């Protein structure tokens, strides 16, 4: 398998330098990844994206994932909102193709006014489900035309709230250009799953493994408090059996990337060191 990072790069990807990429390579990581606000992407020229693409290639570094940031919802009841969002995603797919990114990440959004990963009962209505599937079909068509693979970031608080739901939704869309992110931490729903993490990891991989092309490597830690608090943690500093996770990933995707993410820059050296140690102990080659 391969190991990279989402982070350690400037907010505007056009400002990435050789030094930024060298700092990533120093952690024995072979890929970078980044997100950009959807609203800015119309102003990104092909020449600017190609310059970033060529900088990565010159450094011997892969651009494993490019994410489009937006706050709207793919299943918003308003047609004009969905149309505008799909136009933004279409522009992002153009940039992803110009960057030669390994995949282009999007989110589903939420009908909550508190944010894309906030729960709302309306997210789980039959009407929302159908609108989501219709929007994702349009995304998949645009991705195929652009020659890009789109991955959906899913979470237990979103409309795609379980590994089984992920597989069902992608089955309805029916496109090889649409997959999901293998982000196991996003799908631990309760304490017993954390404390018996290999069994839950197997359940997640059984449903999501065949429909994922990139993964996010995080750990989870159970915290004190009422009722249940399961927080993200630096890989190797939490409660999950990440060795089992890496073995499952390597078996399915020996050339696929797991990406460190959601950490301040000063914690990535520990995260990378732990990930290499855990992989070595699990008999998984990172190359």
Is residue 63 within 8 Å of residue 100, measured between CB atoms?
Answer: yes
Q: What is the pLDDT of residues 127-163, one digit of tens each?
A: 999 999 999 999 999 999 999 999 999 999 999 999 9
Neighbours of 95 (CB within 10 A): 26
Residue closest to 91 by CA, chosen among 46, 153, 151: 46
Q: What is the pLDDT of residues 234-245, one digit of tens each?
A: 999 999 999 999
Is residue 70 within 8 Å of residue 88, measured between CB atoms?
Answer: yes
Phi and psi dihedrals of 258, rounded to 5? -100, 135
When pLDDT is cut at 50, 70 and 90, the band that residue 228 belongs to is confident
Question: If you ran DSSP here, which 8-state letter would residue 259 be given?
Answer: E
DSSP run (H or E) holding 88: helix 79-99
* Whole-angstrom distance, CA of residue 229 vs CA of residue 194: 11
Q: pTM here?
A: 0.96
> HSE (CB half, 13 Å, CA atoms) of 74?
25
Query: Candidates 3.40.190.80, 3.40.50.2000, 3.20.20.150, 3.20.20.70; correct CATH number of 2-282?
Result: 3.20.20.150
């Amino acid at each position: 398998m391969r190991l990279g990072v989402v982070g350690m790069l400037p907010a505007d990807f056009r400002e990435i330098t050789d030094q930024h990429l060298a700092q990533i390579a120093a952690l024995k990581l072979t890929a970078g990844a980044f997100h950009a606000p959807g609203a800015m992407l119309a102003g990104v020229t092909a020449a600017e994206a190609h310059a970033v693409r060529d900088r990565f290639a010159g450094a011997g570094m892969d651009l494993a994932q490019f994410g489009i940031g937006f706050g709207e919802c793919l299943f918003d009841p308003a047609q004009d909102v969905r149309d505008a969002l799909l136009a933004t995603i279409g522009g992002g797919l153009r940039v992803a193709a110009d960057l030669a990114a390994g995949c282009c990440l999007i989110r589903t959004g939420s009908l909550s006014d508190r944010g894309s990963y906030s729960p709302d009962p309306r997210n789980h209505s039959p009407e929302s489900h159908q609108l989501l599937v219709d929007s994702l079909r349009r995304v998949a068509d645009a991705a195929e035309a652009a020659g890009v693979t789109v991955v959906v970031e899913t979470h237990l608080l979103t409309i795609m709230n379980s590994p089984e739901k992920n597989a069902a939704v992608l089955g309805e869309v029916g496109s090889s250009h649409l997959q999901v992110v293998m982000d196991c931490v996003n799908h631990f729903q309760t304490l017993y799953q954390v404390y018996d993490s290999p069994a839950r990891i197997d359940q997640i991989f059984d449903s999501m493994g065949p429909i994922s092309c990139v993964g996010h490597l995080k750990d989870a830690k159970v915290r004190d408090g009422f009722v249940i608090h399961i927080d993200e943690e630096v890989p190797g500093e939490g409660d999950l059996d990440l060795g089992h996770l890496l073995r499952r990933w390597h078996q399915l995707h020996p050339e696929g990337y797991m990406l460190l993410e959601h950490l301040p820059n000063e914690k990535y050296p520990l995260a990378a060191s732990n990930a290499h140690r855990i992989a070595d102990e699990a008999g998984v080659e990172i190359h």
